[in-house]
Amino acid sequence: MTQTTRRTFLGGSLAALAAPAIAQNAPLKVGLMLPFSGTFATLGENIAAAFELCVAENGGKFGGRAVTLVRLDDESDPSKAPANVNRLLGRDNVDALVGTVHSGVVMALVQAAREKEVPLFIPNAGNVAATRELCSPSVFRSSFSNWQPAYGMGKALAAKGVKKAAWVTWEYAAGKESAEGFGDGLKAGGAELVKVLTLPFPETNFQPLLAQLPGLGVDAVGSFFAGGGAIQFVKDYAAAGLRDKMPLCGSGFLTEGVLKPQGAAAEGIQTALHYGDGLDNPKNKWFREAFMKATTRSADVYAVQGYDAGQMLAAGLAATKGDAAAVKALAAAIRATKIDSPRGAFTLSASHNPVQTIWLREARNGENRVIGAAAEALADPGTGCKMAV
Ligand code: PHB
């Protein structure tokens, strides 16, 4: 029985009695809409692998139903996003959605989750609207809002005595919103964001932007880049000889999962993120070993977010006995659950975004070592979220 017909039937009293029993025996189809190609490909792979790890840890079942995964490569292309979401919901009839990495692409998922009341778990994309004005009982984030890590970085920088800083990033929602968080963090510490420099996503011709930096009169440069773009930016920044004049910092994605290819160019760069190397808790220890065993790769923040998306869905379905369409009950259960994350346990804010510590990290010998807390128990402001659960 497909999801659409099940929902239609739930209106009728006879069918309402019969339908859940059938649905609960059927496999649970989860659509993984992620980038498996392009600049964010490695991010998507780690999210998917860690979600699978969570499924395996639960014996292949969530809420008593066998989990089937349907993977779809969204290519981090917003123009293809509506068609891709329709494919998962229409052709594949998935019961729940997990996606995605890119803040522009995630909007099509959020829209569908709201309209069709299909539960959506966002395992990365930080678009603030998803947990602000577009918040919904069916939309959950296991990651961060673009504002959170950048706010932490700005605050930490101001605390170090920096007075003026610039932000360099891609020109799309994640770039714009991280710049706002950085500016808010600087301001909270009495410092100032004087300039935001951008180039189109996913371009990597950084030279024209790098050439402008020395003329800005700033003490430090912050940035949001990730994946392949972050590798190139960190290398180009070092090659331009700017590191001694204006230390480079950023949202932690700048050095996350990419330290090896960045090499010496990344050494000493400080970033802020809700995860880091050396976090000492039993869940993190178990997770890093299990992820390494499953993939032969080191865990990173993307893996953690994919795993926690699985934990959240599992917690919700345990409460509804496998009924993914019972969105309100699912939401109530997830909101009441303390997620035992490798980043440290967290709960969701009223708008379904993690309340979490943003760590200050320093890149040393291929690791993003945690060196302190940039902002403790930080919640996104959740501005404009009105939801009745
Ligand atoms: C985003 O588009 O929201 C985004 C992409 C990659 C990241 C972080 C945020 O690493």
The predicted-structure confidence for 175-230, as pLDDT tens digits, reads as follows: 999 999 999 999 999 999 999 999 999 999 999 999 999 999 999 999 999 999 99
- For position 344, what pLDDT does the model report? 98
Residue 253: partners with Cβ closer than 8 Å, 6 or more residues away: 149, 224, 225, 226, 227, 230, 271, 273, 301
Tokens of 268: 């000493």
- For position 25, what pLDDT does the model report? 75
Extended beta strands in 158-280, E state: 164-170, 192-199, 220-224, 248-251, 270-273
Q: Fill in the amino acid letter for 315.
A: A
pLDDT at 9 over 50: no
Ligand 1 mean position to 357 CA, how many Å? Answer: 18
Q: Predicted confidence band at 24 (pLDDT cuts at 50, 70, 90)?
A: low
Cβ-contact 251, 272 below 8 angstroms: yes
Give me the mean pLDDT over the 163-179 stretch. Answer: 98
- For position 119, what pLDDT does the model report? 98
**What is the percent of the chain with per-residue pLDDT over 90, rounded to a whole number?**
93
Check pocket membership of 125 for ligand 1, CB cut-off 6 A. yes
Ligand 1 mean position to 39 CA, how many Å? Answer: 11
Q: Fill in the amino acid letter for 126.
A: G
What is the number of the ligand 1 atom nearest to the C-alpha of 301? 10
Helix orientation angle between 173-188 and 147-159, rounded to the nearest 10 degrees = 30
**What is the percent of the chain with per-residue pLDDT over 70, rounded to a whole number?**
94
Check pocket membership of 101 for ligand 1, CB cut-off 6 A. yes
Check pocket membership of 202 for ligand 1, CB cut-off 6 A. no
pLDDT at 4 over 90: no
Ligand 1 mean position to 224 CA, how many Å? Answer: 8
Ligand 1 mean position to 251 CA, how many Å? Answer: 10
Q: Predicted confidence band at 241 (pLDDT cuts at 50, 70, 90)?
A: very high
Check pocket membership of 226 for ligand 1, CB cut-off 6 A. yes
What does the alpha-carbon distance between residue 297 and residue 253 come to, in Å, rounded to a whole number?
17
Q: What angle do CA 76, 77, 83 make, to 5 degrees?
A: 115
Mutating to test ligand 1, I would choose from 76, 124, 171 the residue with most ligand atoms within 8 A of its C-beta, which is 124
Check pocket membership of 302 for ligand 1, CB cut-off 6 A. no
Q: Predicted confidence band at 152 (pLDDT cuts at 50, 70, 90)?
A: very high
pLDDT at 316 over 70: yes
Give me the mean pLDDT over the 338-357 stretch. Answer: 98
- For position 23, what pLDDT does the model report? 57
Sketch out the chain's domains with CATH numbers.
Answer: 3-144+279-348 (3.40.50.2300), 147-273 (3.40.50.2300)
Protein residue with its CA nearest to atom 7 in ligand 1: 226
What is the number of the ligand 1 atom nearest to the C-alpha of 302? 10
Ligand 1 mean position to 283 CA, how many Å? Answer: 25
Ligand 1 mean position to 277 CA, how many Å? Answer: 19
Q: Predicted confidence band at 15 (pLDDT cuts at 50, 70, 90)?
A: very low
Task: Mark 364-385 as b/e (b = at least 16 C-beta within 10 Å).
Answer: eeeebebeeebbeebbbbbeeb
Tokens of 276: 């880091």
Check pocket membership of 146 for ligand 1, CB cut-off 6 A. yes
What is the number of the ligand 1 atom nearest to the C-alpha of 101? 5
